[in-house]
A and B are shown apart, each in its own frame.
Chain A
């Protein structure tokens, strides 16, 4: 649940919270986990062997050259992470080309989607993560909600009863990150207290090449990012429930807006949120074999955009009046918004294990969002009210049945879901006319999925899944955000019909393991919802695109090839095609029919090595690691590929990262140095957003346990 995830972000270690596979948070298990600070291959493998296609990013990968979760995800088969700038910049995670809000993003199985304005996956320090599970094609039924296309679930570490973790990182572009977490566990009372905080600051003042301005190189000068989070938790393990937990979090951020074509000097966004979350878990609840899992989360947030500068500047220093008499550097209007949001999310999961062959699961997932936008300056610019209060509710009910046969060789998971949502708002159908219209929606859909797995031997298994599921539009997609995203109340939900099939070969060897995996996927996404720029400068809206087909393959190899060397390599080919045969409302041929969807990479590859050795410099209780990672993204088009003269491309990128890490006293102290984009390659994200060149980071971490 969202909030919980938040708390996790701030105080994960403190909370020593709920892990998917460690539901009994009793002392014995904690003690056991204390001795095993990293998840073993077996557990990772167990995850991979689940019926649904899943990639697991283990601690080994997380603690490599990565500085955040997005880096780790970007090296996983089938995943692209599209950052738009430096620290704190917006980023979108895409699995097999399906991205954005259709992806479920979870921390310990709790969705953070509704809170994306206030926190992101990157807010979770990698030190505090046990593993990241990437589900492709189908979202596990126990997660609830209506995500489709895939999900990312960050599983946080269990920590010992008394624990302190503090780290400080200094990096290029005046970047500083401070993470602290403290946890105290009273075995006698069964109470656990946690407290933690995160501070992040960056100037993000890297040089960038401006493709639209004759490849001029300028230094970013208005991209400062500041963020603070603090949180605490109280968990009881002896209050009837196996776990009853209350978490509280406060977060605030301020991000300047960096101009690309224009030299923006004053505009910025800001946000604050207070979040509370309650978690209740109990096994054998009311009846033997019935496991109860309940989450509820409420958050109150304020966010906005300030953009009221009277002048605009180009990169030559020429000054221009703002379009609006009230100012504004980005577009036609001024903004000083103070939007209030109330989000409530709740999930109930009841899992009944009838016997070793049959399991039943009921999942009820509900959300309610209220938005109260306020932007007097924007209203003045337009001459009338432009944003209106709105509320939206959704309820997803899923019933699942798991069947296990042939001594566990065969597994099947069958799920049916019902999706309901309602929304009420008032919108301007045309933003240039003061003619607001009341819009009320109420929709209901059915969906379902089937996942299968068969183990041919201890080393080889096959898995397949089929699904026809619905994704309900988010409140942001339907009613906008009050300043940069316009309402799109006519949005239809997406439906994804998908097929996934894969083979996994896993063999333990004397150094660890070797693993090879191949997956094929085929999806038809109907009513694809796309984020697209609006004709009004700096404004965007979501719109239904139509039907898009996706097919592709993923290949991955990884393993320990010697006692000190771990290697991995993977590649993904994903082919997304426009399947609209005709223009909207016409029999005219659609000129982009069967053409590759623009702005989405289609050929990706990653590879890396890790050298590790204990006490390489003598002494004892020391460990050293050296890592190199390479990432390749083939060039892709900004627009549909129609003309041989088309030159708007996001160029091919081949980047190398390297890192060296040394720990003392059984990881009590860890020093790490990382270099990213070693060859200082000019790299662009989608829509040609310039990304940082070569940059460095040094980190010191202290762990008391």
Chain B
């Protein structure tokens, strides 16, 4: 460890010793402008709990415990909107309190619950998108339902039933959403019973934010990719500085040959997929990846100039481990949306399916990492190309990161 990090670590030893001593002091909630959450799973990785906390210091290899964290449902990530609202969801598979909760960072930089709204059972709610201070949408994926609500009052405004948009033999399964030009874009996964697409097609439903009326369904079969957005990742649909919408399509997660992942685009001013933009991961050789091709981008973070930082997942990186949740098949990558290239960030460790937090903090790209040595966070500096490993460590798999100091 470099000397400065050692000193920082020593400096913070006292802080954390102090925290340990005050373990029973409930008057000391976590505070800071950085949000992290971890997932603590059973050994098989397919069940567990999440924990969200605000922290103030990101560096020095210090270790954050979950004792001051807010418990979360398993299987989804918090959604942070531009307004500063932080939404957390019930367990994706059910079994926890069926409420959508809205938090903010208050003046003391502590997570403060501002309100909650009941959700139907079996919602598998995972995405919130805000259209205005008085209107937002939450996607209830297992119910083919979108609920419009007022974030201020956390009262339900309207329900949009998307079940009529189901294709034969599948569920419409609304995924991540985005609002542009007063239009709500809703990804339609069209999943079967196994949460898998059945054809190489991408579809989205468009609604008028003013009155939630249905505008149209858009569909593309020429790009050779399917399953638009990763349904639990609100960053899997984003807008660049040109006003173009990009959609990270996850295909069949690499399991069904021919049902491919890639990136689609809806250009500024358009409401149809851009047929001219083709970015198919099954045909894009990745620079620095031993198995050559990625299966999906599990998490992504757009910066600027067409550069997308991501966690690229490939089953081929850990082919002998059949446990989808614990196999270390995730590699930090840089995706050039304009040149349609992908390259691995050398030196950063591979992570499992839970440790895929991503974000930006003070100009650096932050990667959560559940690797063979530790659970924590690493950074990549786009300006210098410098990497830093084990910036902080955490209890459980680092599944979410957001900094208000980006």
Interface set of A (CB-CB < 8 Å, partner B): 211-214, 261-262, 312, 314-315, 318, 320-321, 323-325, 332-333, 381-383, 429-433, 530, 532-535, 537, 541, 543-546, 580, 583-589, 591-592, 639-640, 642-648, 687
A-contact 0/1 string along B250-290, CB 8 Å cutoff = 00000110000000000000000000000000000000000
Q: Are A588 and B374 in contact (CB under 8 A)?
A: yes
Nearest opposing residue in chain A for B63, CB measure: A589
Q: Which of B43, B71, B324 contacts A639 (CB 8 A)?
A: B71
B193 on the A face (CB < 8 A): yes
- In the bound complex, what is the Cα–Cα distance between A323 and B23 (angstroms)? 45
A586→B323 CA distance, assembly (Å): 14
A-B contact pairs, 7 of them (CB 8 A): A332-B195, A534-B47, A544-B43, A589-B395, A591-B38, A642-B51, A643-B71
| Interfacial chain A residues near B121, Cβ < 8 Å | 212-213, 261-262, 314-315
- B-side contacts of A332, CB under 8 Å: 142, 193-195
Smallest CB separation, A487 vs chain B (Å):
12
Instruction: List the B side residues contacting A214 at CB < 8 Å.
Output: 118
Residue from A262, A314, A546 with most neighbouring chain B CB atoms (10 Å): A314
| B26 interface hit (Cβ, 8 Å) | yes
Contact of A323 with B171 at beta-carbon distance under 8 Å, contacts A212-B97, A583-B375, A587-B373 already known: yes
| Contact pick for A212, options B42, B96, B375, CB 8 Å | B96
Residue of A nearest to B372 (CB): A586
Q: Is B66 an interface residue (CB 8 A)?
A: yes
A647, B70: Cα distance in complex, Å: 10
In the bound complex, CA of A580 to CA of B43 (Å): 10
Asked whether, in the complex, the Cβ of B193 is within 8 Å of the Cβ of A433, the reply is no
Q: Is B46 an interface residue (CB 8 A)?
A: yes
Q: Which residues of B contact A648 (CB under 8 A)?
A: 71, 96
Identify which of A321, A532, A592 contacts B144 (C-beta below 8 A): A321
Q: Which residues of A contact B70 (CB under 8 A)?
A: 643, 645
B184: interface (CB < 8 Å):
no
Residue B200 at the A interface, CB < 8 A?
no
- Smallest beta-carbon distance A118→chain B, Å: 28
Q: From residue A183, how far is it (CB to closest CB) to chain B in Å?
A: 48
Those of B133-180 within 8 Å (CB) of chain A: 142-145, 163, 166, 168-171
- Shortest distance between the CB of B86 and any CB in chain A (Å): 15
| Alpha-carbon distance between A240 and B51 when the two chains are bound, in angstroms | 69
Closest to B170 in A: A325
Interfacial chain A residues near B370, Cβ < 8 Å: 583, 586, 588
Q: List residues of chain B with CB within 8 A of the CB of A382.
A: 192-194
Inter-chain CA distance A320–B371, complex, in Å, is 41
> Which residues on the A side are within 8 Å of B84 (C-beta)?
none
The yes or no answer to B196 lying at the interface (CB within 8 A) is yes
State whether A320 touches B98 (Cβ < 8 A). no
- B100 contacts partner chain A, Cβ-Cβ < 8 Å: no
Main secondary structure of the interface of B (DSSP, over half): loop
Which residues of chain B have C-beta atoms less than 8 A from A643's C-beta? 51, 66-71
Q: How far is the CA of A98 from the CA of B32 in the complex (A)?
A: 42
A640 to B396 Cα, complex, angstroms: 12
**Total number of A-B contacts with CB less than 8 angstroms?**
168
Q: Do A535 and B93 touch across chains, with their CB atoms under 8 A apart? A: yes
Asked if B220 lies at the interface with its beta carbon under 8 angstroms from chain A, I say no
Complex contact A261–B94 (CB within 8 A):
yes
Residue of B42, B70, B326 most packed against chain A (CB within 10 A): B42
Task: Please give the distance in Å from B352's CB to the nearest CB on chain A.
Answer: 9
Which residues 25-84 in B have Cβ within 8 Å of A in the complex?
26, 38, 40, 42-49, 51, 65-71, 75
Q: Are A325 and B169 in contact (CB-based, < 8 A)?
A: yes
Q: Shortest beta-carbon distance, A266 to chain B, in Å?
A: 16
| B47 touching A535, Cβ below 8 Å | yes
Q: In this assembly, does B339 line the interface, its C-beta being within 8 Å of a C-beta of chain A? A: no
B69→A588 contact, CB < 8 A:
no
Alpha-carbon gap, A543 to B75, bound state (A): 19
Write out the residue numbers on chain A whose beta carbons fall within 8 Å of the beta carbon of B44.
532, 541, 543
- Complex Cα gap A32–B38 (Å): 67
CB distance from B318 to the nearest CB of A (A): 9
Interfacial chain B residues near A687, Cβ < 8 Å: 95
Within 8 Å by CB of A532, from B47, B163, B395, lies B47
**A318 and B97 contact, CB distance less than 8 A:** no
Q: Using CB atoms, name the residue of chain B closest to A647.
A: B71
What is the distance, in angstroms, from B266's C-beta to the closest C-beta of chain A?
28
Q: For the complex, what is the distance from the CA of A149 to the CA of B297, rounded to whole Å?
A: 46
A323 B142 Cβ-Cβ under 8 A: yes
Residues B193 and A584 in contact, CB atoms below 8 Å apart: no
CA distance A138 to B192 in the complex (A): 48
Q: Of B93, B372, B374, B395, which contacts A642 at CB under 8 A?
A: B395
A429 neighbours in B (Cβ, 8 Å): 322
B341 contacts partner chain A, Cβ-Cβ < 8 Å: no
Docked CA distance A429–B194 (Å): 13
B243 contacts partner chain A, Cβ-Cβ < 8 Å: no
Q: Is the CB of B193 within 8 A of A323?
A: yes
Alpha-carbon distance between A534 and B163 when the two chains are bound, in angstroms: 25
Within B189-231, the residues touching A (CB, 8 Å) are: 192-196, 198
Chain A residues, Cβ within 8 Å of B322: 429-430
Q: Does B122 contact A (CB under 8 A)?
A: yes
Pair A320/B42 contact, Cβ less than 8 Å: no
